Each structure stands twice: as structure tokens, then as C-alpha cells.
Structure 1
Amino acid sequence: MADQPGNSISESFCTVLMVYLSKEKYDSRARKTSREIEEVEIKLKILKERREAHDSSIEQRIQERMRISEKEIGVIDDKYVSFDDEEEEEEEEELPELSDSMEMEVDDAFISHPSTQILVEGFRLSITRGDLQTLNGLNWLNDEVINFYMNLLMERGQKQGYLKVHAFNTFFYPKLISGGHSALRRWTRKIDLFSMDLILVPVHLGMHWCLAVINFCTKTIAYYDSMGGENKQCLNSLREYLCAEHRDKKKSEFSSIKEWKLEVQQDIPPQMNGSDCGMFTCKYAEYITRGSKITFTQAHMPYFRRRMVWEIIHKQLLQ
């Protein structure tokens, strides 16, 4: 039996309708996907602008430090002389010399290949050739090197005559800022922070390393930035952390916190380039933990870099 004209029209209409609806559904999904892509691109643009603004701020501080350095230092008869004749020269600390054999060990450690070869293990950390390369030349120090060095400071603090030290690793501060004390409760299950003399907190600000020190001897929370920056958020967050930690572990309020001072250290050696912030952070910590006045300068950094390589591969501080 032949199809009736009405049936053919109806079927054609249904087919066209289904194609139309299918196209509408596809276009709707496409528009949704396009909006989502656009939103992500906007967010990435905002994050990029924020990062560039932050990096620009640090770069400006670096340039300012270098300009200050050029103004303060002149060259006379091939010797650097300060223009401020009235300022008394500080007695320079005698630093341990690296012997020829020690220098050779450092040179061997700086051989870059294979970069994944583990040269030393300790403190549940592994240091590879690639990690030690961050101490070479003007490279930026990485988390592994800084965390290993902080552990060496803690280990020295167990010896008689030294301040008792606990150092948080480099992942502590970001977690503190993002999640507060509740995100870090388990970090101190086996540690009584209030039995320490000093607590070290490495602070990473994207392109820049700084140091915060909780000092139970002087009742201060101090901030050390080799670029002269301030970070009140860090100081306030650490004070709040101490109070919360005392409530959690001691089951009481940390009443003496009212006597504590928050300090941004100003009279400290500044860095004069854009790459040694990690070194300054480590050396601030090293001097502070042995109770020494911070007297090093930018000129000491090449020596300190090589010395740190030897100290790490031998798991032994020289001073």
C-alpha cells in the first residue's frame, strides 16, 4: 500500500525537528564549553597579572639594592672602600677555610650528570646532583637543599652549648597561610614546640626566600628578609599558630603571648643580586642558631655556597 501524502509530510517534519533540536543541543553545549574556556582564560589572566605584579615588586627591590650598593661602595687602588668613614668597621669573623681536598669534593659534587644520582641521604631526604646544582654559581636554592640544611641546624642544636632548635620544612608556611593551625595539627604530634629555644620557618614568596624565627628566649617572632621587605601577615599568622598550638597540645591558653614582640629585622646584611635569597635565608638561620652576630655580606656568598655543598654531602656543619 502506498504511503499517504500526510504521513510523508509528518515524517519529514519530525526529521527536520529532530535535526533542529540536535543542532540546538550541540550549539548549547558548544556555548557552555566556550563560556567555561573563557572563564578559565580570564582567571589565568588575573593570576598572571598578580604574579607579574609580585615579581615586578621583587625586581624593583633588587634594583634598588644594587643602586644602594653602587652608591655605598667605591673603588680606590683596586680596593673596595666605604664612603662612610665615620662608621666603625665590624670585626670580621674568621671563617673555616676549605682545604684543597674539600674543594675537590665540591667540584666532583658539581658534576651535573646524571642529575638524578643520589649523593647523600639523611633526615628522610635524598639529595641528588641536580639538587646540589642549585648551589652552583647564581642558581636559586630549591626546597630539598634548604630542608636538608635546616635539618643540619636542628641536629647541631642537640649538642651541648647550642640553642635547641626546631625547623619546619618549606611546605609549612604555605599550609599555614591556606589552612591555619587545623591543617598542621598532626605536624607536631611528637614535638613539643614550647620546649625549644628557637623555631625556624623558611618562607617562600614565589621568587623569594625569607626566614621567620620564633625565639622563646627573647619572646619575639622576627622576620628576616634580605631584600628589606615586610610581611606582617607572616608574623601575625605565626603568633596565632602558637596560641592555637598551646590550646591544642597544652590544653590551656598561651597567656604569655601578650608579652611577645613582632619584629621585622632591619639591621641585617642585604643581598645585592636577584639569586642569593635562599643563601641569605640559610645563613641567617645558621648564625642565629649558634647565637652569633650576623656579620656576613654578599661577598661571602660564593664561599658559603661551596661550603654548604661540603656540609651537605658530609652531613656536618663546619661551625
Structure 2
Amino acid sequence: MSLNERRMEAIEHYVFEQREMNKRLEAMEKFLSENFPSFNSSTAAVHVQSSSRTMSDEMKKAECAEVIAECMFEDTQPIKDVLAKPEPSSSGIAKCVRGRVDRKAKEVKTPYTKGQYKRKVLKKAAVRPSPAKVELTNALIEVESQRSPGPRPAPTKIDYPGRQMISDDMRMFIDACLEKYTDMSDTIYTAGNIQIFRSQIDELLTDQYLDDNHIDAFASLLAEKNKLRPGLYQPFIYVSSLHWASKKYDMKSKQYVSHINKDAVTASNFLLLPVNDNEHWTLLVAYLKKATWYFFDSLPNPHRAVLLIVINHLQEETQGCFQTDIKTWKILEAEGVPTQTNGFDCGMFVCKYMENVIQTNSVKWDLLMNLQAEMPKFRAELAFILLCSTLKR
């Protein structure tokens, strides 16, 4: 019954989000089609849902048009419907939709942030230009200047769950960093196109849902540790979850597999590919020497349906890199692995799955079945390591 309840909550959550998103997109599409005939409304949909780290010019235009649409629609029913609170009769996860903190390079918009209704104040101007006379390019510049990020104060102290599970030195260093980096947009860790901000450190410490930056940063740290201590891990290839996300939103995704070639595949034992489907993290691992896929899921939920799509997309963009067609490889579900007992640690479980799979010695999962109890400690330790990168600057 407990499993069925969690599955029902996940379904309710998905349906709720899709319904709210569709209302907003329908209102925007109507406005754009009437006032911006040359504007491709599908770009706006990509901007709202995409998890890419960079914002193209088209996406900036979409953001501009969205702001204009909100102002034009302030007295109409569609926007009011979108901004309305969920009815009291709503049940399950729909009551506590968890929005992420705004990023510098990416922004996810929902009517709800951390379970609290977030009003958008639409100020009425004394005189507004006619929609037909709005110049999109000029409006883009105006909106960009209005949206320049201001200070976003961060708490100087956090009583996080893993505080008493780490050493005194770690705890003191984290406290010092929280007092030093007092803006949510302060950059803590960078590696390639991966960026971790102060806001994401707070998410990590306070038992919040991890995003692609957290997972990618963890994989980057594994590679760094292996360089410092050669042989610590077996050779592996990592593919960011953004490769699959970009495919879903019809964006360029080949950049995320540009490091995969015949030599890299031959020299590696594993390919690690985190998958985010319906706001749940799972891990797909290719055992390259066995030509076999293993699927790691910290919840006993049916998330296998997306795997073939992910593998097919990977095969399309890495043609000739593998000796055989990876679409024909057997897919096995990893059995006897530790699982989660809450609704927010799936990202950390994916991180620990990756770390243990690539160990030089064969992993003994039966000795790690208490992983859930140590998750607050693992979160604090990861935050500590990321904060240590600030010492290099």
C-alpha cells in the first residue's frame, strides 16, 4: 500500500504540473500568434521546460515575449487561472510542488516555489503602447536591463541534518564559508560548463532535490580524485543527463558526447549515464567489456520505459564509437542495491551508485544497505568538498 501511495502521488504530481504548464503555454501561444506573427511560439515552451545551462538568443526572445505577455494579459482570465493557488481539494505531492532556486544561467518558472504561492506583481502603467507597435528587439534590451540580477542574501547559518555526522573541522569550514559567501548567486565550484552556486550548496545541505549540476559536479570530482590517486577507480566515461534532456526539448545535445570516441570506449570499463525522468533520478550503466546495460533505481517504480529512448539517442550521436550496436545490448535491473525511504534523496543515491560501481574492487551491496541513514552525512561531505574548491581561488 505504501508503494502504491507513492506511485499515486508521483502521478498526481506529474498531471498537476502538466496541467498548469499547458494553461500558461496556451495563453502565451495565443498572445504571441496575435501580436508576434514571426515569432516561433515553440521556443517559449523550450525555455520554460529546458534544463540547459546556456540561454540562446531565441530563448532570450522567448523570455522577453513571456514578460510582455504577462503584462498584456494581466486583466484577462487565462493568466489569472495560471496564477491561482491549487484548490484545497488537491492531494498528494500536488500540494507541495518544489521549485528550484533561480540560476544565473538557467531559470525554471513555476507558479509555486517551495510550496508557497509566489505572486507576480503586475504594475499597471498610465499609458501602454499598443501591442502591434511593440518592437521585440528594443523590448528585449529593456527587459534584460530590468531583470539584471540583484543581491539575493543567503543565510549565514544553516542547521542542516548532517551537521552532527561530520568532523569538527568540516563543520567549522562549512560554517566559515556560509558566513563568507552571503549571496545566493556566489559561485562556489566550476568545472567546464558545470557551475555550483551558493544556492545549490544550501539545497545540498538541507535535504532538497538535486539537479543536473549537482550530479555532474559529483562525477567531475570522481574524475579529479582518480587523477590524484591513479587506480582508485576503474576507467569510466560519464555522460551528463543534459544529453537526454536536450533531446527531449529539441536542442543541441551532441556537445555532451563529444568526448566519446573509439579510443575512449576501448580504454574504459564503464559508461555512466544518469537519467532524470518525471523528476526522479536513476542511473544507467554500460558495462562496456560485457556489452550489457545495468539499470539502478532507488525506488521500486516503473522507470524503465524511457531507457530505450535514452540508449537510442546515445547510439545516434556516437555512431562508430562502439564495436557493436548498443541498442542490442541486454538491459538488466540491478538487484540487491540499497534503496531510498524518502522522496528527495534519489539524486544522492545515483551519486553513490556511480562511486561504488567504478570501485577497483567488486562492490558488495549487501554491506551498503544502510545507505539511506547516512545520506545527510554524504550530503554534508559533498558540500564540504565543493566548498574546498574556493580555496584555490
Bin of the TM-score, shorter chain as denominator length: 0.5 to 0.7
Aligned mate of 1:105, from 173, 176, 179: 173
| 1:228 aligned residue | 300
CA drift at 1:246: 5.2
- Please tell me whether residue 204 in structure 1 is matched to residue 276 in structure 2: yes
Once the two structures are superposed, the pairs formed by residues 99-178 of structure 1 within 5 Å of their partners are: 99-110=167-178, 113-158=182-227, 159-177=230-248
- Please tell me whether residue 267 in structure 1 is matched to residue 336 in structure 2: yes
Distance 1:54 1:146 in 2: 27
CA drift at 1:53: 11
CA contact (8 A) 1:147 1:169 kept: yes
CA contact (8 A) 1:157 1:165 kept: no
| Structure 1 segments unaligned to the other structure (5+ residues) | 1-28, 60-96
C-alpha distance after superposition, 1:11-61 (max 9, x if no partner): xxxxxxxxxxxxxxxxxx99x97xxx99x89xx8xxx9xxx99967xx9xx
2:171 partner amino acid? E
Distance 1:278 1:110 in 2: 23
Distance 1:289 1:54 in 2: 37
Q: 1:187 to 1:122 in 2, by over 3 A?
A: closer
C-alpha distance after superposition, 1:262-305 (max 9, x if no partner): 02224221111111111111111111121423314210111111
Once the two structures are superposed, the pairs formed by residues 158-307 of structure 1 within 5 Å of their partners are: 158=227, 159-177=230-248, 184-192=253-261, 193-195=264-266, 196-241=268-313, 243-245=315-317, 247-249=319-321, 254=324, 258=328, 260-290=329-359, 291-294=362-365, 295=368, 296-307=370-381
1:162 partner amino acid? Y
CA drift at 1:187: 3.5
- TM-score w.r.t. the length of structure 2 is 0.50
CA contact (8 A) 2:244 2:310 kept: no
Q: 1:171 to 1:247 in 2, by over 3 A?
A: closer
| Count of residues paired in the alignment | 234
C-alpha distance after superposition, 1:202-224 (max 9, x if no partner): 21224322221122133221222
CA drift at 1:155: 3.0
- Please tell me whether residue 313 in structure 1 is matched to residue 380 in structure 2: no
Match of 1:228, SS state, is coil
C-alpha distance after superposition, 1:114-162 (max 9, x if no partner): 2122233334433221110111122112332221111112334452252
CA contact (8 A) 2:242 2:256 kept: no
1:300 partner amino acid? E
Q: 1:240 to 1:119 in 2, by over 3 A?
A: closer
Q: 1:194 to 1:178 in 2, by over 3 A?
A: farther
Match of 1:247, SS state, is coil
Match of 2:301, SS state, is coil
2:386 partner amino acid? I
C-alpha distance after superposition, 1:199-256 (max 9, x if no partner): 2222122432222112213322122221122333333234434543553557xx7258
1:277 partner amino acid? C
In terms of Rg, which structure is larger?
1
C-alpha distance after superposition, 1:177-217 (max 9, x if no partner): 555xx954444334325232212222122432222112213
2:276 partner amino acid? H
| Structure 2 segments unaligned to the other structure (5+ residues) | 1-29, 35-72, 98-164
CA contact (8 A) 2:237 2:271 kept: yes
Distance 1:237 1:109 in 2: 42
Aligned-pair RMSD on alpha carbons? 3.9
1:170 partner amino acid? S
Distance 1:243 1:311 in 2: 34
Once the two structures are superposed, the pairs formed by residues 17-36 of structure 1 within 5 Å of their partners are: none
1:175 partner amino acid? S
Distance 1:243 1:127 in 2: 30
1:234 partner amino acid? V
C-alpha distance after superposition, 1:39-86 (max 9, x if no partner): x89xx8xxx9xxx99967xx9xxxxxxxxxxxxxxxxxxxxxxxxxxx
1:102 partner amino acid? M
Distance 1:246 1:170 in 2: 16
Q: 1:99 to 1:214 in 2, by over 3 A?
A: same
Distance 2:290 2:178 in 1: 40
CA contact (8 A) 1:166 1:199 kept: yes
